[in-house]
C-alpha cells in the first residue's frame, strides 16, 4: 500500500495509470492547489536540468595518472610475497638472523638521552620515510599515507581540502 507521498510523487511524474490514477485523482479533489503544484514541480525539474551543466573534467590524463599511482602505491604495501624454503635461502636467512642479532646487540649500547615529545617506535628501517601517527585537522579531511618504492618516497595524501581558485594568490 503506497503512502500519500509515494502516490503524489508518482502522479507528478506521470507514473500512475488506470484505476490507481483515477483513485488518486479522486483523493486529490480535496487539494485544489495540487495541479498548480504539479506544474511547479515539473518546472523545478526542468530548471535543475537546464542549470546542471558541469565543466568537463580538467586534466583527464592526470586524473588517470593519479589513480594508477595510488594503485601502484597500494600494491607496494599490500603485495603478498610467496616463499619457499630452500637451502640457499636458509643460508641467507641465517646470515640475516646474525645481522639482526648484531643490530640488537648494538641497540643495547647506551645512547644519548631522548628529548620528550616523540612517540617511541620500534622500526629498524632507516632508509624509508615512515608515518608513525597522523591525524586530520578536521573531520572533513581524510589522510592516507602511502609509499612509492620506485622513488622511495612516502606521501601523505590529503583529501577534502578547499579548492583554491585562480584569484587566490599563493605568493
Binding residues for another protein restricted to 33-92, rule: CB under 8 A: 33-34, 36-37, 40-41, 43-49, 51-52, 54-60, 62-72, 74
Nearer to another protein by Cβ, of 76 and 89: the residue is 76
User: Taking CB under 8 A as the rule, does residue 14 contact another protein?
Assistant: no
Looking at beta carbons only, is 91 or 156 nearer to another protein? Answer: 156
Shortest distance, position 88 Cβ to another protein, whole Å: 19
Three-state secondary-structure class, residue 125: coil
Question: Residue 156: in which H helix or E strand, if any?
Answer: strand 153-159
C-alpha cell at 104: 640488537
115 within 8 A of 129, measured Cβ to Cβ: no
β partners of residue 153: 148
Pairing relationship of beta strands 142-148 and 153-159 according to DSSP bridges:
antiparallel
Residue 20 contacts another protein per CB under 8 A: no
Q: Is 135 in the site for another protein (CB under 8 A)?
A: yes
Amino acid at each position: 500500500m503506497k503512502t500519500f507521498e509515494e502516490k503524489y510523487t508518482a502522479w507528478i511524474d506521470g507514473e500512475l495509470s488506470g484505476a490507481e490514477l483515477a483513485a488518486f485523482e479522486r483523493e486529490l479533489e480535496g487539494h485544489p492547489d495540487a495541479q498548480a503544484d504539479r506544474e511547479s514541480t515539473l518546472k523545478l525539474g526542468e530548471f535543475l536540468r537546464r542549470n546542471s551543466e558541469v565543466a568537463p573534467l580538467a586534466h583527464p590524463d592526470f586524473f588517470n595518472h593519479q589513480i594508477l599511482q595510488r594503485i601502484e602505491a597500494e600494491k607496494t604495501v599490500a603485495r603478498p610475497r610467496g616463499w619457499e624454503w630452500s637451502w640457499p635461502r636458509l643460508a641467507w636467512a641465517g646470515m640475516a638472523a646474525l645481522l639482526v642479532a648484531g643490530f640488537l646487540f648494538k641497540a643495547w649500547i647506551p645512547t644519548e638521552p631522548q628529548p620528550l615529545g616523540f612517540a617511541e617506535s620500534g622500526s629498524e628501517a632507516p632508509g624509508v620515510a615512515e608515518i608513525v601517527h597522523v591525524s586530520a585537522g578536521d573531520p572533513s579531511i581524510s589522510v592516507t599515507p602511502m609509499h612509492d618504492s620506485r622513488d622511495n618516497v612516502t606521501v601523505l595524501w590529503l583529501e577534502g581540502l578547499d579548492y583554491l581558485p585562480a584569484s587566490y594568490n599563493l605568493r
